[in-house]
Structure 1
Amino acid sequence: MDRINIRKMMLDDIDDVHKIEEEAFPLTTWKKETYIHEVTLNNFAHYFVLEKDKEIIGYIGMWMVIDDGQITTIAVKREQQGKGYAKQLLNFAMDYMQPPVKRVSLEVNVKNKSAINLYESLGFLYGGIRKDYYGPGMDAHVMWVNLDERH
Structure 2
Amino acid sequence: MEISIREMREEDLDRVMEIEKKAFTPPWSREAFLLELTKNLLAKYIVAVIDGDVAGYGGIWLILDEGHITNIAVDEKYRGLGIGNKLLEGLIQLCIDRNIRAMTLEVRKSNEIAKSLYKKYGFKEYGIRPKYYQDNNEDAIIMWKSIQF
Question: How high is the TM-score relative to the length of structure 2?
Answer: 0.95
The CA RMSD over aligned residues, in Å, is 1.2
Contact 1:76 1:86 in 2 (8 A): yes
The counterpart of 1:87, out of the listed 76, 85, 88, is 85
Query: Using the alignment, how far apart are the partners of 1:137 and 1:8 within structure 2?
Result: 33
- Alignment partner of 1:145 is 2:111: no
Confirm or deny that 1:9 pairs with 2:5. no
Shift of the alpha carbon at 1:4?
Answer: 1.7
Q: Figure out how many residues of one structure are paired with residues of the other and give that number.
A: 147
The CA distance in 2 between the partners of 1:140 and 1:62, in whole Å, is: 17
Structure 1 unaligned spans of 5+: none
Partner residue, 1:126: 125
Code of the aligned partner of 1:104: M
The runs of 4+ residues in structure 1 deviating greater than 3 Å are none
Number of the residue aligned with 1:103: 102
Q: Distance in 2 between matches of 1:10 and 1:92?
A: 16
* Residue 137 of structure 1, CA deviation: 2.3
What secondary structure, in the 3-state scheme, does the structure 2 residue paired with 1:141 have? strand
Task: Supply the AA of the counterpart residue of 1:7.
Answer: R
111-120 vs 91-100, which deviates more?
Answer: 91-100
Which secondary structure does the structure 1 equivalent of 2:145 belong to? strand
The CA deviation at 1:70 is 0.6
Do the aligned residues in 1 keep the contact of 2:124 with 2:145 (CA within 8 Å)? yes
* Cα distance in 1, alignment partners of residues 38 and 145 from structure 2: 28
User: What SS does structure 2 have at the residue aligned with 1:148?
Assistant: coil
1:83-126 Cα distance to aligned partner (Å, 9 max, x none):
21101110111011113201000110000001111111110000
State how far apart, in whole Å, the 2-side matches of 1:87 and 1:5 are. Answer: 12
Q: Of residues 61, 64, 67 in structure 2, which corresponds to 1:63?
A: 61
Stretches of structure 2 lacking an aligned partner (at least 5 in a row): none
Corresponding position of 2:116: 117
Deviations 1:40-77, CA, capped at 9 Å, x for gaps = 00000000111001100000000101111011010001
TM-score (norm 1): 0.93
- 1:80 positional shift: 1.2
Separation in 2, partners of 1:45, 1:133: 22
